[in-house]
Each structure stands twice: as structure tokens, then as C-alpha cells.
């Protein structure tokens, strides 16, 4: 049986590209997302090479996350890597009647990821080890003016994963945080400014390399974002707030 990977939010964007990349590398796949029809199409495309199990899942339905992930892992005979990838991006600003969008972003990007990680950790503890991966974002390094809730969700996810690393390491579970920059996916196609843009396929290839190396945390691509993200933290607040980020 090949090594297997579970991926949430696998129907499109980075999640879909990761599924294709890990299939290419010989992994069996457990894929879940809200849009089952897209998963079925992906399953048909990939199952000729290796086992591909799919399930419908909205990670904001927290009670369902554990059940779905456990069933996928059981069907695959276990899981080596569990990737909390499901996420949404919404433009919302305070005072514009869009709090419901902020709530949705936090429920999916942060709480849904935490539910995924919690269930994943239970699966991997029972197996004696493995790896948990969180797909965060360079948007979590500073608050972006058009998507403040998205920035907050990714910053919180990265901090949470840093906090759980010591505990999970004791159980032989590696914790990897991936911070993509601008990736050419539907989540950001309406943005006029997308510096250092790369394709979802290249992002998946670089991300899979980093996951297999069990890096602790990295931007994708590493350069120039490692340098840029470091510099972002030192831009004075008065200057940063003028940027239409």
C-alpha cells in the first residue's frame, strides 16, 4: 500500500493541485471538499494510478470533520500526511454590514482547520506518527486592508500550529506550516496587484517538496517571499496603513 495523504478543500485551487501532485508522486489520496461533483471528476482523473477516496465535507460543520477524516483514513489503511487546506477569502470591512463574511472566514479558515488538525492528530497518534500540514498564507504576516479577517485567520492558524508543535513532536507527528504568496487561483483573481505570482501547479510542486522534507515553516515560493515577508514586519504602522493591500 502506498503512503497516503488526506487533503481538505481538495476540489479546486491549491488543494486540487496538491492532490494531483501527490498522486504523481505515488501517494494514495483521501480528498474532501464541499463540492462533491468536482471531487468526483478529480477522482476519475486520478484513480487510474492510485487509490483515491473522496467525501463531501464542509469543515465549518465541526462535528462532521472527525467522522469524515476517520472514514477516509480507514478506507486507505491509514494516513501518513494530513493537510488542512480548506479556506475562503472574502473582502469585508467593518461598518459595511459584512460581519457575516468575517464570521464565515474565521469559521472555515481557522476553526475548520483546527477541527481538521484535532481529528488528524488523533488519527496519527493511534498510528504512532505522521505529519500534519496547515496551509496558511503570507497574508498572515501583516493585516491586509481589503481582507482583514482573512489575514487574521491565517495569522491565528500559523500561531496555533506553532503552539501545538512541541506536543505533537512528542508523538512523532511533524508539524509543517506552508505560507503561499500569490497563487493564480480563483481566490485572488480579482486583485489588481499580485506580486511574484506563480501557478497552482508550481505551488503544489514546491509545497510537496517542503512537506516531504518536513520543514517547520516556509513561504511558497521561498524566494523572494522569505525576504519580503521579513521586511513586511518592520514597515512602520503609519506607512503600512497607507498601502492598498
Residues with catalytic function: 150
Q: Quick one: DSSP state of residue 110?
A: I
What is the end-to-end Cα distance of the chain in Å, rounded? Answer: 46
Contacts of 9 (CB under 8 A, 6+ apart): 15, 32, 33, 59, 85, 86, 87
d(CA 106, CA 228): 26
d(CA 122, CA 70): 9
Select from 73, 166, 75 the least CA-distant residue to 122. 73
Helices assigned H by DSSP within the chain: 13-24, 36-46, 62-76, 99-105, 113-127, 148-169, 200-212, 225-232, 237-240
If one counts every other C-beta atom within 10 angstroms of the C-beta of residue 204, the result is: 24
String of b and e for 57-92 (b: at least 16 CB within 10 Å)? bbbbebebbbebbbebbeebebbbbbbbbbbbbbeb
Cell numbers at 188, concatenated: 485572488
Say if residues 175 and 192 touch (Cβ distance below 8 Å): no
Say if residues 116 and 66 touch (Cβ distance below 8 Å): no
Amino acid at each position: 500500500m502506498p503512503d497516503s495523504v488526506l487533503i481538505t478543500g481538495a476540489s479546486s485551487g491549491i488543494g486540487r493541485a496538491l492532490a494531483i501532485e501527490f498522486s504523481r508522486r505515488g501517494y494514495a489520496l483521501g480528498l474532501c471538499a464541499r463540492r462533491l461533483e468536482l471531487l468526483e471528476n478529480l477522482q476519475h482523473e486520478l484513480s487510474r494510478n492510485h487509490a483515491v477516496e473522496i467525501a463531501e465535507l464542509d469543515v465549518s460543520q465541526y462535528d462532521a470533520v472527525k467522522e469524515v477524516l476517520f472514514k477516509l483514513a480507514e478506507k486507505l489503511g491509514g494516513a501518513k500526511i494530513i493537510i488542512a487546506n480548506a479556506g475562503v477569502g472574502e473582502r469585508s470591512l467593518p461598518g459595511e454590514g459584512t460581519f457575516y463574511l468575517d464570521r464565515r472566514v474565521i469559521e472555515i479558515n481557522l476553526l475548520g482547520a483546527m477541527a481538521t488538525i484535532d481529528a488528524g492528530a488523533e488519527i496519527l497518534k493511534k498510528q504512532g506518527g505522521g505529519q500534519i500540514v496547515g496551509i496558511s498564507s503570507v497574508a498572515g504576516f501583516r493585516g491586509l486592508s481589503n481582507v482583514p479577517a482573512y489575514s487574521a485567520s491565517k495569522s491565528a492558524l500559523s500561531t496555533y500550529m506553532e503552539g501545538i508543535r512541541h506536543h505533537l513532536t512528542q508523538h512523532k507527528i511533524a508539524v509543517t506550516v506552508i505560507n503561499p504568496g500569490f497563487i493564480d487561483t480563483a481566490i485572488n483573481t480579482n486583485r489588481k496587484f499580485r506580486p511574484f505570482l506563480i501557478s497552482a501547479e508550481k505551488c503544489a510542486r514546491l509545497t510537496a517538496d517542503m512537506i516531504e522534507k518536513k520543514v517547520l515553516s516556509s513561504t511558497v515560493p521561498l524566494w523572494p517571499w522569505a525576504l519580503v515577508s521579513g521586511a513586511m514586519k518592520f514597515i512602520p504602522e503609519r506607512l503600512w496603513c497607507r498601502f492598498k493591500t
